Amino acid sequence: MQAYFLENNAPVDNEALRAVGVLAETLPIEPSGHQPRLDELMHERGYATQDEVQLSPEMDNLESICAKFIDEHLHEDDEVRFVLAGAGIFDIRSQDDVWMRLEVGPGDLIIVPKGLHHRFMLTEAKHIHCVRLFKDPAGWVPVYR
């Protein structure tokens, strides 16, 4: 995972991410390596469901799906993603209006806490395969700024 401030490209460390409530970790890709940690998070944080999502250039509706994430928004539930394949970009707005960019790839786990403004986009490859955790999938509806 690469994390940096958009304003000046200075690196963002885990302490700065934690200060805005973002959890970022790297886990093994193999299910035996990452599933115990995901199970732990589900238990600790009250997530009730787990699924997988894939976005790829072969999808007829890829552009319309991506259009929902590119505009700045927040959720009433945490956004939890563990990347199995591909890559994506999360832009996170801190409470003092500083933008941080997190480029995620295979093995990266990110939790964007509920109520934190952010946006998401795919990289040029336009492919990502993620595990998602939810307390309630209905709470993951975007609320646009």
Mean pLDDT along residues 51-63: 95
Token pair for residue 92? Answer: 């996170």
What DSSP line would sit under 6-72, residue for residue?
TTT--B--HHHHHHTT-EEEE--SSHHHHHHHHHHHHHHHT--EEEEEEE-TT-TTHHHHHHHHHS-
Q: Which single residue is written with the structure tokens 């945490």?
A: 78
What digits encode the pLDDT tens for the residues 84-125?
999 999 999 998 999 999 999 999 999 999 999 999 999 999
Chain CA centroid to CA 19, Å: 17
Give the residue among 65, 61, 78, 90 at the shortest CA–CA distance from 1.
90
| Mean pLDDT in residue range 21-41 | 97
> pTM for this structure?
0.94
The predicted pLDDT at position 68 comes to: 87
**Closest to 80 in 3D by CA, of 123, 136, 122, 124:** 136
Q: Identify the CATH number of the domain defined by range 2-136.
A: 2.60.120.10
Residue 63 pLDDT > 70, yes or no?
A: yes
Above pLDDT 70, what percent of the chain? 97
Q: Is the pLDDT of residue 61 over 80?
A: yes
User: Which whole number is the average pLDDT over 63-89?
Assistant: 94
Domain chopping of the chain, boundaries = 2-136
**Is the pLDDT score of 36 beyond 90?**
yes
Q: Which amino acid is at 20?
A: V
Q: What is the pLDDT of residue 144?
A: 85
Give the chain's mean pLDDT.
94
